[in-house]
Structure 1
């Protein structure tokens, strides 16, 4: 008897009881005989009816659910805690305000079986749509790439849905700095890129709805509260081979490197930075960047 394909869904949540119902419904719609779904939920200190809502899911007994609670440690710590517990063939990190298309897991299983024995891939990468079924990014120009190349060399600037191969995903974690609670997922992706690739599939599997109080909507707040992680993220980019990276992306990276260098009050701005052009641009932009950062962030803090 063939072993069932198993998917582990990891969801960190905070005060999203109503939205969890929609995600749960999309999981149930994806249930089929030869598929096993495991949903690991980390409640990050919700004050709404999240626990009651999940208890009702458990009573219905359509899918395997494991609910856990932590006191306001943040999304990344939640995922770091859940990943070692995952037992599926693949792992999908799904926010509570996202949900799946009706045939998502059928597509995932089909694409996974094509490459499951190829050790060079760490994830399948699919399209993500908004609620109007509009692509939140661009279609993939090539099937095999890395997340760094996709966003820094191939022109992608939107969102994608990643399906990680579990054994590889468990080798990595989100690196949080100095008691910070958030870091961009891309920092971990870039480390995975050093040893593996992603396989891109031009099919949507996930629908996204942005919330007014979500991470994306409050990016300046995230910058201010988590500057050390972002500093290392942009510094690590400037230590990569930037050949093929557009000038616009290079400039974006350097501006943000200066921003977080200033916010974290570090010394030695050129230390461990690779590439002559990177160093020239940092020298040219440092003073105006420092002034803009101090004006912008001191104003926001006082508002």
Structure 2
């Protein structure tokens, strides 16, 4: 099996069918579908059972207690049979030729010893309007000039992503995926492309909504995310914004100050905290 298409899900039985149908339409049969259910309380299990009965490709389903998407990712990586890890959220769907193009990109990435490749996840309004894309390839992180609200979708070698599991912080259940992705792209070469192969719009109940409130409820993961993002910041303004966000979480959630200070680069914490102190003294 070449690709494991992985979908984490929580109470999304009403949405999974669209993704399933897009997998049924794939022009290549080089994948299996691995679903990790993060403790859903709806009809997810029954829906997946129907998918398994109808599918023209292998489907596997695992259920865990509710721990968050990042822990579902850890579980999927452990259980996956594929050589390549291709995540697709439950509210998204794939272009009909996604797996066919991915096979070609995987061959190219493997020949060059790259850790993975990318394609673009685009808004649903671009379905059927992607003819002018799919011609560019490059290896420089964050160098793509966007003309719509899309994002890079990473596909990694399974052996690579297994080296970068998410940490487990008790009593917290939300961690941004940058905590896993950035260490890989920072230390390995990625084949970036402008193929548009996945579609979906952000939903009101999605993890991307109300992000700041989620960060405050999961402060240790939030602090780790801001520290990790600092590795890829390209300007001083970006670095100081991440520093401000980091200390905002620390102070508002009353994290141990000394521990937080030692965990973040001093070169950015000292000027930020010094300025904050001076403003208080005015």
Compute the displacement of 1:282 (Å): 4.1
CA contact (8 A) 2:120 2:150 kept: no
Structure 1: segments with no counterpart, 5+ residues: 290-303
Partner of 2:208: 216
Partner of 1:250: 239
Q: TM-score, normalised by structure 2?
A: 0.85
Partner of 2:177: 185
Equivalent in 115, 120, 125 of residue 122 of structure 1: 115
Classify 1:276/1:30 alpha carbon distance in 2 versus 1 (closer, same or farther; 3 Å): same
Equivalent in 128, 143, 152 of residue 138 of structure 2: 143
Q: SS of 2:262's equivalent?
A: coil
Q: SS of 2:173's equivalent?
A: coil
Compute the displacement of 1:26 (Å): 0.6
Compute the displacement of 1:158 (Å): 5.1
Compute the displacement of 1:202 (Å): 0.8
Residue-by-residue CA offset, 1:20-52 (whole Å, 9 max, x unaligned): 0000001111143xx322111111222221111
CA contact (8 A) 1:175 1:183 kept: no
Q: SS of 1:116's equivalent?
A: helix
Classify 1:177/1:158 alpha carbon distance in 2 versus 1 (closer, same or farther; 3 Å): farther
Q: SS of 1:191's equivalent?
A: helix
Which has the larger displacement, 279-288 or 219-228? 279-288
Partner of 1:297: none
Q: Does 1:87 align with 2:78?
A: no
Compute the displacement of 1:279 (Å): 3.3
Classify 1:284/1:81 alpha carbon distance in 2 versus 1 (closer, same or farther; 3 Å): same
Residue-by-residue CA offset, 1:176-229 (whole Å, 9 max, x unaligned): 323311111111122223431221001111102211111111213311221111
Classify 1:117/1:140 alpha carbon distance in 2 versus 1 (closer, same or farther; 3 Å): closer
Residue-by-residue CA offset, 1:267-293 (whole Å, 9 max, x unaligned): 23653544746632342246879xxxx
How many residues are treated as equivalent by the alignment? 272
Aligned counterparts of 2:46 and 2:78: Cα–Cα separation in 1? 25
Q: SS of 1:145's equivalent?
A: coil
Residue-by-residue CA offset, 1:123-178 (whole Å, 9 max, x unaligned): 2111111110189xxx99971134xxx2xx87779522111111111211122323
Equivalent in 252, 255, 272 of residue 265 of structure 1: 255
Q: SS of 1:217's equivalent?
A: coil
CA contact (8 A) 1:130 1:209 kept: yes
Classify 1:31/1:192 alpha carbon distance in 2 versus 1 (closer, same or farther; 3 Å): same
Structure 2: segments with no counterpart, 5+ residues: none
CA contact (8 A) 1:178 1:228 kept: no
Classify 1:260/1:286 alpha carbon distance in 2 versus 1 (closer, same or farther; 3 Å): farther
CA contact (8 A) 1:8 1:40 kept: yes
Aligned counterparts of 1:18 and 1:63: Cα–Cα separation in 2? 21
Aligned counterparts of 2:257 and 2:52: Cα–Cα separation in 1? 53
Q: Does 1:16 align with 2:16?
A: no
1:12-161 to 2 correspondences below 5 Å: 12-32=8-28, 35-119=29-113, 121-133=114-126, 143-146=138-141, 150=142, 159-161=151-153
Which has the larger displacement, 176-185 or 104-113? 176-185
